[in-house]
Amino acid sequence: MVAEGQFGGDAEGQNFVIDTGTSPSILNIAVARRLGLPLSRARVSAIGGLSDTFAATVPEIRLGPLHSISVPVLVSDLSRVERDLKLPIAGILGFDILGKSSFRLDYRKQLIEFGEVAHEGIPIELSIKADLPIAEIKTGGKSLRLLVDSGTNRMVIFGARSTAESPPIPANNLPQATGVANVVQARAVSSLEFELSGVRFRQSAFILSDREEPLFDGLLGVRSLGVRVLSLDADRRILYLLK
């Protein structure tokens, strides 16, 4: 989903991708240069592995009533995102910004609203360690912790633990997955059964067996679950997924 926001007192609207699976937020390097922001070197962990990038501090970002000052961001070339969406994109607003206020994402209406939210749908408590929406799913007798990601329409599972979740497929059938760092090889699973808070799901997934994350085992794309509304109660620190 894309929403319009502004930088500081600039009245000109800017397009931002809304992504609960991103933290910290990301600024398009073309925009960082236009704003004249000082850049420092940084190293980021992404789907393709560790990647060298830049970091900066944005003086002010506004999205409706959401107002953030002195925002630390990563800086990256988002031209591929712009090509995919056919829109100029100023940045990707992640959970470091979005998680400060209660909000409701309505995918059917393509609308984000701020304020009190109804406690409807599957509840997912934010991780105490990372303050991120990490869901625990059960599949094949195992438990996996997946980061709830509003910016993708697929499930991605990291690590050697995932190897048993799918039968081996020929190497020449390995699909490619594009990450921030580079293009990586992934294994496709056409039908993965799992349970989330007592609700059963079946969907396709990608397995990255050589990728590890200390806080979670992969990404849970909410659009692939058929979720029509994603809500955050910022006071209770609970995310809700409503089908």
Residue 112 lies in a domain: no
Residue 78 belongs to a domain with what CATH number?
A: 2.40.70.10
DSSP state letters, 200-215: EEEEEEEEETT---SS
SS3 19: coil
Domain check: are 72 and 127 in the same one?
no
DSSP state letters, 71-132: EEEEEE--HHHHHHHTS---EEE-HHHHTTS-EEEETTTTEEEES-----SEEEEBPTTT-S
Domain check: are 233 and 126 in the same one?
yes
Q: Please list the pLDDT of the chain residue by residue as tens digits (243 residues).
A: 999 999 987 768 999 999 999 999 999 999 999 999 999 998 776 554 567 889 999 999 999 999 999 999 999 999 999 999 999 999 999 999 999 999 999 999 999 999 999 999 999 999 988 899 999 999 989 999 999 999 888 898 987 555 444 444 333 344 444 444 344 566 788 788 999 999 999 988 888 876 778 889 999 999 888 899 999 999 999 999 999
Domain check: are 160 and 226 in the same one?
yes
Instruction: Name the token pair of 42.
Output: 């940084």
